Amino acid sequence: MFFAQKKTEMVTQDTALPGRTTSVMADTVHHVFGRPLAMDVPDGMQVAVFAMGCYWGVERKFWQVPGVWLTMVGNAGGFTPHPTYEETCTGKTGHTEAVRVVFDPAIVTYQDLLKLFWEGHDPTQGMRQGNDMGTQYRSALFAMDEAQLKAAHRSATDFAPKLAAAGFGPITTEITQAGPFYPAEEYHQQYLSKNPAGYCGIGGTGVTCPIGTGA
């Protein structure tokens, strides 16, 4: 119990693990799209970063969306540069498991992706998601620019009363400007495409987010 409690407490920059200077992900291709799995963003595309619990299931939600060009799992919101999965699991990096989504805004909008984010997990659980407990599973929206930040805050404000009416508590999602995104190891990338029967602990609340409904 003490170890579980420590994993739900955020570390500080001074107490975080030191990390390393190079990525832990080897060069590879996306298992679903067959494109190079890289940080490059094609002209006309945009980037969004979401954290909703275990990134295996989260990534699958986003690669299934028409208009999404590339997905990548990794770590965001913490202090340790280029952490390994084992380091992140200690709770001593400050990171949460996140998915970086490159999308074509002519086909799918950031608002569309926000709706999937809010409906695809329980954003009221604090430092856990379902049975997965720890700071690495906290809900977060990492905005790439001021427009995304405003849209994220507005969507949370609009969704909160819907959740409350359904008996859920306050939204605990961290909403902030994006910092560095550190890709996870290759074997975590598109894990549920490589292992279709693999674990996925992601589940929504059943509450409809009012984005795009005019509510």
Which active-site residues does the annotation give? 54
Buried b / exposed e along 45-63 (16+ C-beta atoms within 10 A): bbbbbbbbbbbbbbbbbbb
Rounded Cα distance, 102 and 56, in Å: 17
Dihedral, CA atoms, 8, 12, 16, 18, nearest 10 degrees?
Answer: 160
| φ, ψ at 141 (rounded to 5°) | -120, 120
For 64: left if phi > 0, alpha if psi spans -120 to 50, otherwise beta; the answer is alpha
